[in-house]
Amino acid sequence: VVPHGILVFFPSYPVMEGVLSHWKLLDQTKKSIFDQISNLKIPFIEPKSKTDLPKIMESFNRNIDEGRGAIFF
């Protein structure tokens, strides 16, 4: 497990949306990959609107500073 924050880059929004949709599907244990990630890090998803980005980045950084950890897609 990586402490603090993680940045995950995708080549485009459609690719990111496809991967996250796939990760949210339940597997045989009834836990999705996204749920498993969320148990370790608080997930943040980059908005398409640039006006929303500063607010989300602030929340991402606050979670890291408070020691909860975060992952930003």
The answer to whether the beta carbons of residues 70 and 63 sit under 8 Å apart is yes
Residue 7, strand partner residues = 72
More confident residue, 26 or 52: 52
> What confidence tier does 2 reach under pLDDT thresholds 50, 70, 90?
confident
Residue 73 has pLDDT above 90, yes or no: yes
In this prediction, residues 17-26 reach a mean pLDDT of: 94
* DSSP track, 21-66: HHHTSB-TTS-BHHHHHHHHSEEE---SSTTTHHHHHHHHHHHHHT
Residue 41 has pLDDT above 90, yes or no: yes
